[in-house]
Amino acid sequence: MKISSKAYYGLMAMWIIADRADQKANSVTLAEISDSLNISISYLEQLFARLRINGLVGSKRGPGGGYTLSRPASEISVAQVITAVNGRVYANTPINPDQQVDVLWNHLSKRLYGFLDNISLADARDKQAMLEVA
């Protein structure tokens, strides 16, 4: 499976915000995330518009403004982030029961989504928790 750059950078940006929340710091600006990930602010604006629409981040304007997680990292799944920035994690192909590959593909897609939905941002940042999930 190949993960899209949107999904990769969306997750990385969410981890940066989650790290900042763990440190009890204020919100994180797109400029800080841009510097950290070495990607453009305009690309981040597109990602964060989707994250905000999907209720995963909140924003604050003005001095000291930026983005924060909308809820604790333990309550946001990797699948939610990927779906927010990239669309569906799983295939949405019509199932033809006579075509075993269709049945297999849809089953695999649902299992993959379920796996990613059981990994929170907090878990994904914790190496031991990731080993337990895997």
User: What pLDDT does 112 receive?
Assistant: 85
For tokens 């029961």, the residue is 97
HSE toward the beta carbon, residue 103, CA cutoff 13 A: 5
What is the predicted pLDDT for the residue at 109? Answer: 81
Q: pTM for this one?
A: 0.82
Extract the residue ranges of the chain whose pLDDT is less than 70.
1-2, 22-25, 89-98, 127-134
Contact 69, 57 (CB under 8 A): yes
Give how far Cα 124 sits from Cα of 13, 104, 109, Å.
13, 27, 20
Residue 123: the pLDDT is 87
Residue 93, pLDDT score? 59
Q: How far is CA 72 from the centre of its chain?
A: 13
Give pLDDT, residue 70. Answer: 94
Looking up tokens 């075993």, which residue turns up?
100
The CATH class that applies to domain 5-133 reads: mainly alpha
